[in-house]
Amino acid sequence: MKVADLSARPAVTVAPDATVAQAATLMSRVGVGCLVVVDADRLVGIVTDRDLVCRVLAHGVATDVRIDSVMSTNVMAVDRHADIRDAIAAFHHHAVRRMPVVDGDQVVGLVSLDDLIVSLSKVFADVTHGMTAQLVFPHGNDEPPVPALSG
């Protein structure tokens, strides 16, 4: 399965010169926990609701500062054509909960650990459905089980 096959959502983006207040308002209005920071459609950072709490509110930073002053840089992104095993390894190695999905230099979406869990649980459900059917309903040509004789 490829990353593009996941139920990844479109990335909500913000420009690096947006203020923290504008970013927080956008997060609230759209109902997301992170924004991908892009400059001329190029990925330059990511900011999460946790970043706003830990880097801004907890330190008394004014909300009129630019978002690029509090965003995370060197963002781990995953290619849309990558296998989901590569995404799982990247989540594990980099200890992040969300990653932008890219196609070349273009941000085309966002994938989260939650997206992976939901997609994989659907796959597991499909697999276990077939196994359960075989266990509960024996095949037509199978011999019926022979009851044990008591002694």
What per-residue confidence (pLDDT) applies to 133?
Answer: 67
The domain segmentation of the chain, as residue ranges, is 3-136
pLDDT of residue 138: 64
Assigned token pair, 22: 């504008």
SS (H, E, C) the chain: CEHHHCCCECCCEECCCCEHHHHHHHHHHHCCCEEEEEECCEEEEEEEHHHHHHHHHHHCCCCCCEHHHCCECCCCCEECCCEHHHHHHHHHHHCCCEEEEEECCEEEEEEEHHHHHHHHHHHHHHHHHHHHHHHHCCCCCCCCCCCCCCC
How much is the pLDDT for 105? 84
Indicate the class that CATH gives domain 3-136. Answer: alpha beta
Q: What is the pLDDT of residue 114?
A: 86
- Residue scoring higher pLDDT (8 or 78): 78
Is-above-0.85 flag for pTM? no
Q: In angstroms, what is the C-alpha Rg of the chain? A: 23
The pLDDT of residue 66 is: 97
pLDDT digits (tens, 9 = 90+) for 85-134: 999 999 999 989 999 999 988 899 999 888 888 878 776 676 676 677 66
pLDDT at 5: 81
119, 122, 127, 132 alpha-carbon torsion, rounded to 10°: 160
